[in-house]
Chain A
Amino acid sequence: MNHQYDVVIVGAGLAGLRAAIELGEDTRTAVISKVFATRSHSGAAQGGIGAALGNEEEDHWKWHMFDTVKGSDYLGDQDAIEIFTRDAPRTIYELEHMGVPFNRTSDGRIAQRAFGGHTSNFGKAPIKRACYAADRTGRVILDTLWEKCLQRGIDFFNEFQIMNLTVRDGQCCGVTAYELANGTLHHFHSKAVLLATGGAGKIYRTSSNAFASTGDGMAIAFRAGAALEDMEFVQFHPTGIYKLGILISEAARGEGGVLHNNEGERFMERYAPVIKDLAPRDMVSRCILREIQSGRGIDGKDYVFLDLTHLGEEVISGKLSEISGFARTYAGVDVTKDPIPVQPTCHYMMGGIATDTDGRVMIDDQDQTIAGLYAAGECACVSVHGANRLGCNSLLDVLVFGRRAGRSIRRYIHTIGFPSISGDDPTGETAEQIACLMDSTGEERSSTIRTEMQEIMMDNVSVFRHGDALFKVMDKLRRLKERCRYISIKDKGRCFNRDLLDAMEVGYMLDLAETITLGALNRTESRGAHFREDYPDRDDKHWLVHSLFRYAGLKPPHFLTKPVNITDFEPQERKY
């Protein structure tokens, strides 16, 4: 089935929806999403969205910028971070005007709370910068933007899985998608495509991410020639519920919660004397694992306690109600009475599709682009998060750069007509791929391969990494990719065939896992979320550069580097 739209947005999370709203009523826009729009993983964001509003105490965008640069371990591009933090207050007011129900101060303004790595006066003390709606901030913003899109009459194609980009002569002119309900292939012919497909946290065994977070957009863009950037930087959130990985927001510590080891010691005081439990996520995750390695995990096991018992009923029910529900349901813990068992959980990809600050997708280290192809949100790497993202900067990222991508697409589509896609059927290649998978008589199951990948990545390419192990992982991933060729699809039907999608997804994740591991292996230093036990120090002389990956078919990806944009803040030692 063929469709024609000015713009196709893939992904109905916050980046995609914000871009859709920006495109305006004179643009014919289609949003396609593998899950129904409000099921998008942006809705799982809990704690808040950062902006120097100064509603609670004095604040400046430049302080926010400094914190973000320092949080990124100086790998974030400072020109982008300046745009990002300067635009933050406007972004919040805009959301408020659309109807987002932020919590309020006693005088009716938007309330703010403390978050990891956010400080006043260039690192002097924690600051209240996160605007929030209890601990369901992402959810209410997602609802608001989706409803705004309904008001605007934007066309949604829910439960449509993107399969391929249509690229002709270096220009992106549409996508092929698979309709889950009946197995129909659809081609969307467009002047521009925005990928807003989110993260890939399901590459790891323990993850806070949704089942849908399998990096589809990143992998598809990568195979179509886009460069991936900084893939080795994977954020492990320090406080996932033990064994389950379900997120307990950093807001819990922002509101005063503390981490304890088995001696009842508030161990973060030792590691980050100034901001303690509110140190950035990469540090806190490492500290928790160091405590566990030193035998100070609870009951000798691999978790520590997050203690909220002193916060009181009012803070818990008014500001942390979702997470107290999660603790009750999944861990059987009443957070007003007992501490929550926590351990680091895979949470966020700092890396992604290389873009400029207007969402244009890059193919190399020379700023060459694929015309008509854009990316925003977690699937993109601008880069504002560098080697480690600060809490409450991801909601800001998706909104600021979703809007900017929408704006630049709007300018772009008015300069061109519909690119020609004459010739062969644009869905032909995809139909062949599917037929090939459906007819495979191999004995492999995608779930087995996925589980093996998740174990390998969790054990070797998570918080702590070592060159010897990474080298072996590259080989293991190669072998898993080889085995993917022998996956057979047992479900031969066309209606809700998850078996087929599982097989596609594991292929996407393996491609991305390979870039993560290759980046981790090549980067012989420790920076932000990337920590090499065999190279424990940051090495600015050699590695103050972005990693870039280019797809090379059956061979391992090509690895390139690109300089970091430094404007105001020269790299310093990162201490908190």
Chain B
Amino acid sequence: MKSTFIIYRYDPAVDTEAHYQQYTLETEPTDKILDCLNRIRWEQDPTLAYRFSCAHGICGSDALVINGRIELACQKLIRDFRTANNFVIEPLPLFNVIKDLVVDLNPFFEKHRHVRPYLISDTEAPERERLQESDNQSFFEPALRCILCASCTAACPISRANPDYFGPAALLRSFRYLFDSRDTATGSRLAQIDSPDGIWGCRTMWWCTDVCPKGIPVTKCLGQIKRLVKEKEKTKT
């Protein structure tokens, strides 16, 4: 089957503005979109830039906009699209384009770092493992599926409107540590995100959940943080 790929191109060294370039490939229904990009690069145009590594949805490198929707290029096959042989491929929105489909994710990781994404405990570690209930773990387990692909944050309308908003991915990391029974920094974590740019930036619009390639119920997890903030306020008064 012949498929057409219309791909966003921008090279800062030569282009004053972005343009779209069309490529045609012979494809199989089981080809991943990433396979197609690779073949375009190998067989037709070695200058095409995009990120990729594991090619099976674990490293989080290749989130792109495919036919208007944010997807991992390695996790979508030709047969998954109804528009069987026409594909428009663009970089993630929200972030600055470095070249073609490669965007600058530094602001994204900066927000991640900002929420202190590591276990903080004021209790001394025992000789063996700390004990933890399976139920506690299954509560925050969805957040462990996150591969930092930035799809949710790129899709989030609030993140687009407010550059200071932490964004769903960073807040999901907060959720992961807030609800980990081994972490004792709940108070200071909540204080940090109990703000309009923090958890209250989320207006429950579900775009993050909708695009997450790992099926994480991001909005629901953020809702749990909101509930926790409210509960803590109640116990204070």
Residues of A within 8 A of B (CB): 35-36, 38-41, 43-44, 92-93, 96-99, 101-110, 133-134, 136, 139-140, 143-144, 147-148, 150-151, 181, 210-212, 244, 246-247, 318, 321-322, 325-326, 329-330, 445, 447, 489-491, 493-496, 498-499, 502
Contact = CB atoms under 8 A, between A and B. Distances in A.
Interface in B125-163: 125, 127-134, 137-138, 140-141, 144-145, 147-148
Given A35-B61, A99-B118, A499-B46, A108 B99 contact: no
A491 B46 contact: yes
B23 interface: no
B59 interface: yes
A98 B130 CA distance: 11
Given A211-B53, A495-B11, A496-B99, A147 B117 contact: yes
A38 B59 contact: yes
A493 B47 contact: yes
A136 B100 CA distance: 31
A490 to B, nearest CB: 4
A139 B109 CA distance: 17
A493 B11 contact: yes
Contacts of B55: 210-211
B42 interface: yes
Interface string B88-125: 00000000001110100100010001001111000001
Contact of A445 (B11, B30, B42): B42
Given A136-B145, A490-B46, A104 B137 contact: yes
Given A246-B56, A330-B56, A494-B13, A99 B49 contact: no
Contact of B54 (A44, A181, A498): A44
Contacts of A489: 46
Interface residues of B, number: 58
A496 B98 contact: yes
Contact of B118 (A96, A148, A494): A148
Nearest to A92: B129
B68 to A, nearest CB: 20
Contacts, number: 151
Contacts of A322: 58
B12 interface: yes
Interface of B: 11-14, 30, 32, 41-43, 46-47, 49, 51-61, 75, 77, 98-100, 102, 105, 109, 113, 116-119, 125, 127-134, 137-138, 140-141, 144-145, 147-148, 177, 180, 182-183, 215
A35 B47 contact: no
A505 to B, nearest CB: 13
Contacts of A181: 98
Contacts of A498: 41, 46, 49
Contacts of A134: 141, 144
B61 A495 contact: no
B180 A101 contact: yes
Contacts of A99: 118-119, 177, 180, 182-183
Contact of B53 (A39, A133, A247, A499): A39
Contacts of A139: 58, 144, 147
30 contacts: A38-B60, A43-B58, A93-B125, A93-B129, A96-B130, A98-B119, A99-B183, A101-B144, A101-B180, A106-B134, A134-B144, A139-B147, A140-B144, A144-B119, A150-B117, A150-B118, A210-B55, A211-B52, A247-B56, A321-B145, A325-B215, A330-B32, A445-B42, A447-B42, A447-B43, A495-B99, A496-B49, A496-B99, A496-B100, A499-B41
